[in-house]
């Protein structure tokens, strides 16, 4: 039994949860804030010069930078949040400063009414509360601006900081604004197909599914606003469901489900020869290896067809085969363009010991259809397709059902 008092337990609740963000992402956020604030201040200096009768940087922009660069996935950090929130709060703050003589009362009203306005306009942005305070307590220089404070500096600085965030996130490969294209019918079909035949909610280790409507109903029952986008929350929950689903298959690894008799080609293999191998073995993709057997890339029927301007299956394949004399008993002499000129170099691969928990998301969420399996020296030892994955899951689930029976 714990010897801690209720008061000490209460105090311990103040301890923050561990930060799960990786260090590279932390440093990326810090550099982004540095560049964002520098760009905002520099833009104001260029536009209005050092002799402007208003501050070239207002303090709330520092708080906005924390959101835009530190937690860009938050609904509070999206473009309309910063622009709309700051404009609403600046307008309310200036109005309260003009109409209410007591600065403390004016500040309290300004922040309160600003929050109400941001909720109504769906642009809640915490730093905007400081914008309202700045309009009330900023001193004579701010008060002289009147409603001009809304445009300059607030609107101009907000736009500059937002432009810096958009450019920085795009340059560093980070998704911002944080919107998730949502196709409800497609998602429902994907969720259903993610559970192989023979698997039921009663199968050991398998978690029952949920729908978007379930998620929305639960969120509506919450007594406070959750600082998370509903699409992001759904994505996390579905990935968690897949993780739990995969965990139910214990130690099943890539080596257990991969195809071991893999046909491969080298960089220097002629495209015509690669196409012939695809047709001969009735496969849709081939690993491309270096001379020493290490994985160099992957080539698919689509790569080969596209290299000659072909589109679509069937007709494109037959025309390409005809081009190289591979129909009607024709033979390939190994001449022509090489596979290395059309292969996909950035190919995702997994180790033979990779657990199922790593494989399922690659197929379910990242759109991969063929994943090479490599050994410790990066040499190809197998290939996993969607059919291999589903077949392996089905065989293992059938074994679970027999054990339960």
Are residues 232 and 137 part of one domain?
no
Burial class (CB in 10 A: 0-12, 13-18, 19+), 53: exposed
Do residues 132 and 69 share a domain? yes
Mean pLDDT of the chain: 80
**Continuous segment of H or E residues that includes residue 249:** none
Q: Which of 115, 149, 171 is the last residue of a domain?
A: 171
> 210 and 141, same structural domain?
no
Give yes or no for a contact between 265 and 274, defined as CB atoms under 8 angstroms apart.
yes
> Can you read off the two tokens belonging to residue 234?
């759904």
**Final residue of a structural domain among 143, 171, 199:** 171
- Domains of the chain: total: 3
- 210 with 237: CB under 8 angstroms? yes
Same domain, yes or no, for 241 and 259?
A: no
Q: How many residues does the chain have?
A: 405
Which H or E run includes 289? Answer: strand 285-289
Question: Phi, psi (5° rounding) for residue 350?
Answer: -135, 160
Is the model's pLDDT at 318 over the cut of 60?
Answer: no
The confidence score (pLDDT) of residue 309 equals 52
10 in a structural domain: no
In a domain, 94, yes or no: yes
**Residue at a domain's end among 212, 230, 248:** 248
Residue 357 lies in a domain: yes
Locate tokens 């363009």: which residue? 337
- Are residues 329 and 207 located together in one domain of the fold? no
**Runs of H (alpha helix) within 150-224:** 156-171, 184-193, 212-220
| Dist. CA 206–CA 223, nearest whole Å | 30
Q: Are residues 315 and 382 in the same domain?
A: yes
243 and 259 both lie in a single domain: no
User: Given pLDDT bands bounded at 50, 70 and 90, which one contains residue 311?
Assistant: very low
Q: Within a domain: residue 324?
A: yes
Domain match, 63 and 159 both: yes
Residue 106 in any domain: the answer is yes
Residue 302 lies in a domain: yes
Residues 282 and 239 in one domain: no
Arithmetic mean of pLDDT, 159-173:
95
Task: Report the chain's terminal Cα–Cα distance, integer Å.
Answer: 41
179 is a domain residue:
no
Return the number of other C-beta atoms located less than 10 Å from residue 235's C-beta: 15
Q: Residue 127: which of 148, 96, 158, 168 has the closest Cα? A: 158
Q: What does the DSSP assignment read for 74-139?
A: SGGGSHHHHHHHHHHHHHHHHHHHHH-S-HHHHHHHHHHHHHHHHHHHT---THHHHHHHHHHHS-
**Least-confidence region, from 124-133, 192-201, 329-338, 340-349:** 192-201
CA-to-CA distance for 32 and 78, rounded, in angstroms?
16
Q: What is the pLDDT of residue 307?
A: 66
Q: Which CATH number do you get for residue 306?
A: 3.10.580.10
Using 50, 70 and 90 to split pLDDT, how confident is the model at 162?
very high
Say if residue 72's pLDDT is above 80: yes
Whether 15 is in a domain gets the answer no
If asked whether residues 107 and 203 sit together in one domain, one would say no
Examine the pLDDT at 79 and tell me if it is beyond 70: yes
Domain that holds residue 41: 23-171
Q: What's the pLDDT at 398? A: 62
Task: Examine the domain organization and report whether 366 and 275 are in the same domain.
Answer: yes
Paired strand residues for 379: 294
CA-to-CA separations, 345 to 279, 306, 348, 374, 403, in angstroms, rounded: 22, 16, 9, 15, 44
CA 80 to chain centre: 20
Closest CA to 371 of 362, 379, 194: 362
Share of the chain above pLDDT 90, in %: 36
147 and 34 in a single domain? The answer is: yes
């Amino acid at each position: 039994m714990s010897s801690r008092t209720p008061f000490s337990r209460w105090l311990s609740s103040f301890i923050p949860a561990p930060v799960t963000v990786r260090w590279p992402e932390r440093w990326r956020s810090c550099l982004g804030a540095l560049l964002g604030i520098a760009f905002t201040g520099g833009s104001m200096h260029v536009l209005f010069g050092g002799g402007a009768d208003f501050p070239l940087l207002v303090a709330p922009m520092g708080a906005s930078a924390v959101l835009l660069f530190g937690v860009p996935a938050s609904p509070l950090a999206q473009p309309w949040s910063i622009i709309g929130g700051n404009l609403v709060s600046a307008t309310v703050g200036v109005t309260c400063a003009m109409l209410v003589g007591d600065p403390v009362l004016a500040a309290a009203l300004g922040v309160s009414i600003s929050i109400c306005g941001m909720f109504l306009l769906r642009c809640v942005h915490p730093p905007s509360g400081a914008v309202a305070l700045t309009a009330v307590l900023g001193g004579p220089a701010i008060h002289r601006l009147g409603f001009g404070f809304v445009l300059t500096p607030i609107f101009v600085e907000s736009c500059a900081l937002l432009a810096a965030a958009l450019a920085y996130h795009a340059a560093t490969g980070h998704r911002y604004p944080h919107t998730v294209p949502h196709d409800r019918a497609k998602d429902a079909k994907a969720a259903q197909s993610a559970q192989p035949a023979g698997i039921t909610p009663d199968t050991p280790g398998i978690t029952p599914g949920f729908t978007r409507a379930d998620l929305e109903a639960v969120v509506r029952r919450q007594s406070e606003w959750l600082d998370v986008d509903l699409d992001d929350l759904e994505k996390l929950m579905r990935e968690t469901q897949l993780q739990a689903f995969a965990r139910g298959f214990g130690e099943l690894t890539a080596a257990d489900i991969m195809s071991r008799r893999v046909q491969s080609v080298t960089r220097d293999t002629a495209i015509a020869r690669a196409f012939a191998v695809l047709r001969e073995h009735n496969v849709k993709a081939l690993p491309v290896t270096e001379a020493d057997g290490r994985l160099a890339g992957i080539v698919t029927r689509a790569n080969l067809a596209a290299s000659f301007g072909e589109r679509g299956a069937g007709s494109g394949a037959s025309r390409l085969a005809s081009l190289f004399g591979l129909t009607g008993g024709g033979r390939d002499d190994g001449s022509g363009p090489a596979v290395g000129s059309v292969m996909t170099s950035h190919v995702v691969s997994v180790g033979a010991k990779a657990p199922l928990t790593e494989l399922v998301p690659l197929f379910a969420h990242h759109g991969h259809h063929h994943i090479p399996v490599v050994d410790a020296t990066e040499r190809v030892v197998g290939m996993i397709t969607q059919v291999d994955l589903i077949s392996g899951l089905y065989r293992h689930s059938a074994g679970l059902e027999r054990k339960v029976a």
